[in-house]
Structure 1
Amino acid sequence: MADSDRVRFSRQHINARCKTLVTYGLLVHLGNGVYDITSEGEQYLNGDLDARDLDAE
């Protein structure tokens, strides 16, 4: 994505999106801008979890 002329993003945008995913339990914040995907996040990416069923923590 970073090499594509079609995709524009900023670190602030990515950080904001990751924080949102943390509130829904799809990512966990490890510190210093590092995130890890949770088992629920893996399920979502695999199509086994409907995000509409998630509640913000």
Structure 2
Amino acid sequence: MAPVDYEILLFFDEHPIIVSPHVLAVNIDYDRQYVSKRCGALVGAGLLGSVDTGLYELSDQGNAFLEGKIDGQELEAPSE
């Protein structure tokens, strides 16, 4: 996982809302395109859910990961 992945997950943990990569990027101070790419990777790993085209939320698996109930090695590795 890239360092930004944890920031993305923590944002959703602190703000249980549905957001676009643009809104997310502004709030965590990363490039929108990079955040969008990482959101796609986190969806692939099951940590985020894709609500609609370009909108994301924390998945149940993502929540369990943040709570320490799922080991990061159990997840499908998000690609860079």
| TM-score under structure 2 length normalisation | 0.54
Say which structure is richer in strand.
Answer: 1
List runs of 5+ in structure 2 lacking aligned partners: 1-24
Q: What's the RMSD between the two structures over aligned residues?
A: 2.2
Unmatched segments (≥5 aa) in structure 1: none
Rounded to whole Å, the distance in 2 between the matches of 1:12 and 1:47 is: 29
Measure the CA separation in 2 of the matches of 1:2 and 1:55: 27
Partner of 1:41: 62
Residue 44 of structure 2 corresponds to residue 20 of structure 1: no
Number of paired residues?
Answer: 53
Higher helix share: 2
